[in-house]
Structure formats: C-alpha cells, structure tokens
Amino acid sequence: MTEIDPDYLLRRLAQSRRAAERATESSARAAHLAMADHYAAVLRSHAIPVPRSVAAASER
C-alpha cells in the first residue's frame, strides 16, 4: 500500500470544501463534496484527525 501524505490530503480536503461552497450547479457541488468525504475517510482510516472547518485544514 502507498504511504499517505496527511498534509497533502488535508490541503485537498480544504480545497474540495472551498470549491463546493463556490459551486453554483448542484452536480458540481455534489462532486466536490464527494471528494472531500473521500479525503476525510482516507485520513480517518489512518487515525489522522480531520478538522471540521476549512480554515483549520488550510492552516496545516
């Protein structure tokens, strides 16, 4: 299995959440939220805490 980079995943999680907030079409919003859920699930599966807010994820 490939090693994960928590900092990379946290940045991607924050990016997906911000993109979902900006998305005007519901399908685009759903896609961004799905990616955010995926990144969060990967982090949790490796026992890495996932911040609730985008700001917290962006600060890492």
Residues 9-46: tens digit of each pLDDT: 999 999 998 898 888 888 888 898 899 999 999 999 99
- In this structure, are residues 46 and 1 in contact, taking their beta carbons and an 8 Å threshold? no
Separation CA 50–CA 43 (nearest Å): 7
pLDDT score for 51: 83
In a domain, 49, yes or no: yes
In a domain, 52, yes or no: yes
Separation CA 38–CA 40 (nearest Å): 5
pLDDT score for 55: 44
pLDDT score for 7: 92
What is the domain extent for residue 45? 6-58
Tokens for 4, please give them: 């994960």
- In this structure, are residues 36 and 3 in contact, taking their beta carbons and an 8 Å threshold? no
In a domain, 46, yes or no: yes
Separation CA 32–CA 27 (nearest Å): 9
pLDDT score for 59: 45
Task: With a cut of 90, say whether residue 3 has pLDDT above it.
Answer: no
- In sequence order, what E strands does the chain have? none
The number of folded domains in the chain is: 1
Q: What is the reported pTM? A: 0.68
In a domain, 1, yes or no: no
pLDDT score for 54: 54
